Structure 1
Amino acid sequence: MGLFSFSKDSGDKAIDTSAENKVNASTLMNTIQSYGFDVKDLDVEIDGDTAKIYGTAADQATREKVMLTVGNTKGIAKVEDKMVTAAPAPEAKMHTVASGESLSKIAKKYYGDAMKYNVIFEANNPPLSNPDKIYPGQVLRIPEL
C-alpha cells in the first residue's frame, strides 16, 4: 500500500505511550493482537513518528484496519505499510475526518445515503467501537458497497 500520513497530535490517546511520550512498538503489536486481526508474522518498528508494519494479513480489509489502528495512534505521523495479503482485493478509500463530521455525513458524501453510516462503522470496527465517537484527523476506511 505504501506510505500514509496521519495527524500525529489527534490520534487515539487510549493506546499507552512510554515515559518519553513516544509510541512503543510492542504496545502497538499488543493492541493489534487484542483486536483479533488475522496477521501472521506481525512486526511493528517505530522510528521517531513513523511506524513500519510487516506481516501477512488474511485479507485487504484486515490489512487496512491494522494500518489505521497504528496510524490513528497519538504520536504516529506516518505509517509505512510493508504487509502483504493472503487474499488480495481492491483497496478501500480512506477519509480523514474533518471537524463537525459524523459517520452519517460521511456516508451521505460517499454513498448518497446518510443511513449507510453503519457500513463505515462496521468497516472500521475494531478499533472504532462507537459510531458517535470519531474525531477530527482520524482516518477511516470507506469500503465499496
Structure 2
Amino acid sequence: MEGDKLLIRGVVPSEYAKNELWDVIKGIDAAVSDAVIDINVQSGLTYKVVSGDTLSKIAKRFYGNANDYNKIFQANTDQLDDPDKIKVGQELKLP
C-alpha cells in the first residue's frame, strides 16, 4: 500500500507481458483509480533457441505478434545473416 492506494510494482520480460498484465489489472478495475502501478520491462533479455523455434514463434511468445520477428532479427545481425536460419543453442537478444 502507498497511502490509501494499492501499489503494484514489478519487472516483466517483454512489452507484450506488460500489456497482458495491464489487461488483467483493468479487468479487475477498469478505472484503476485506486492503484499505483510501476511495471518495467526487463532490458537485456536473451533467449536460447530450442528445436522447432523460428523467429516468428519467438516473437509471438514474447511480443504477442509473429510479425515482430524482424525486431529480433535486427537485434541479432551480429550473429544472424538470414531470419530463417537460426540454430538450436543460439543465444538471441530480445529487444
Pick the TM interval, shorter chain.
Answer: 0.5 to 0.7
2:78 pairs with 1:135: no
The aligned counterpart of 1:93 is 45
| CA positional deviation for 1:127 | 2.1
1:56-67 equivalences under 5 Å are none
1:119 aligns with 2:43: no
Amino acid at match of 1:106: I
TM-score where L is the length of structure 1: 0.36
Residue 92 of structure 2 aligns to a residue whose secondary structure is: strand
Q: Give SS of 1:104's match.
A: helix
Name which structure has the greater RCO, CA cutoff 8 Å, separation 6+.
2
Tell me how far apart the structure 2 counterparts of residues 127 and 136 of structure 1 sit (CA, whole Å).
Answer: 13
- Percent of counterpart pairs with the same letter? 50
User: If the length of structure 2 is used for normalisation, what is the TM-score?
Assistant: 0.54
- Report how many aligned residue pairs link the two structures: 54
Structure with the higher fraction of residues in helix conformation: 2
Quick one: which amino acid aligns to residue 110 of structure 1?
Answer: F
Q: Aligned-pair RMSD on alpha carbons?
A: 1.2
What secondary structure, in the 3-state scheme, does the structure 2 residue paired with 1:95 have? strand
Cα distance per residue 1:56-81 (max 9 Å; x no partner): xxxxxxxxxxxxxxxxxxxxxxxxxx
Letter in structure 2 aligned against 1:123: A
| Structure 1 moving runs of 4+ over 4 Å | none
Structure with bigger gyration radius: 2
Q: Which runs of 5+ in 2 are unaligned?
A: 1-41
